[in-house]
């Protein structure tokens, strides 16, 4: 007789140290799993500059180099391209459906990237937005 294993979010989507790192009331590091773990991994990937990780020098989206670029259509298109490239390479648990980068309506020196993606394991559609500081 075959046994049925319970598929927890951690087994389906993975589990990792919570970001930002936190220590729980028991003094141990907190972990995230499921869709939250993926959302946190996306944020880490997007906010990591090239060469920040010694053993993975090309990990990340390298968006920090755009800090002083003007908030123009061209810059926002470059951000879309880099997000798509980074996530397709470094986050195999998702398929990116769209990346839309628009000027922040409350800050002329910022843009908001909205990423819509499908979780490979469950086919659920998720969305995350990330604010990015730009230049002039």
- Convert the pLDDT of each residue in 81-113 to its tens digit: 999 999 999 999 999 999 999 999 999 999 999
**Nearest alpha-carbon partner for 78 in 58, 63, 94:** 63
In terms of Cβ atoms closer than 10 Å to its own Cβ (0-12, 13-18, 19+), residue 122 is middle
- pLDDT score at 36: 86
Q: Does the CA dihedral 33-35-36-41 come out positive or negative?
A: positive
Where is pLDDT greater, at 57 or 31? 57
Q: Report domain extents, the chain.
A: 11-133
Q: How far apart are CA 2 and CA 73, in angstroms?
A: 57
pLDDT in tens, 26-37: 887 766 777 888
For the domain with range 11-133, which CATH number is right: 3.10.450.40, 3.30.565.10, 3.30.390.30, 2.60.40.10?
Answer: 3.10.450.40
Residue 111's DSSP bridge partners are 103, 132
Which segment of 1-10, 24-33, 71-80 scores lowest on mean pLDDT? 1-10
Cβ atoms within 10 Å, residue 7: 11
Tell me how far apart the alpha carbons of residues 118 and 102 are, in angstroms, rounded to a whole number: 21
The predicted structure's pLDDT at residue 17:
62
Is the whole-model pTM more than 0.95?
A: no
Residue 127 token pair: 């969305």
């Amino acid at each position: 007789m075959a046994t049925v294993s319970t598929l927890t979010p951690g087994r389906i989507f993975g589990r990792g140290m919570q970001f930002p790192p936190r220590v729980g009331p028991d003094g141990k590091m907190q972990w995230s799993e499921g869709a939250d773990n993926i959302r946190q991994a996306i944020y880490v990937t997007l906010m990591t500059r090239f060469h920040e990780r010694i053993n993975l020098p090309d990990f990340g989206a390298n968006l920090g180099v755009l800090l002083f670029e003007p908030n123009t259509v061209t810059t926002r298109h470059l951000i879309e391209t880099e997000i798509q490239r980074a996530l397709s390479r470094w986050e195999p648990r998702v398929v990116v459906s769209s990346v839309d980068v628009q000027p922040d309506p409350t800050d002329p020196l910022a843009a908001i990237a909205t990423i819509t993606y499908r979780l490979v394991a469950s086919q659920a559609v998720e969305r995350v937005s990330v604010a990015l500081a730009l230049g002039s």
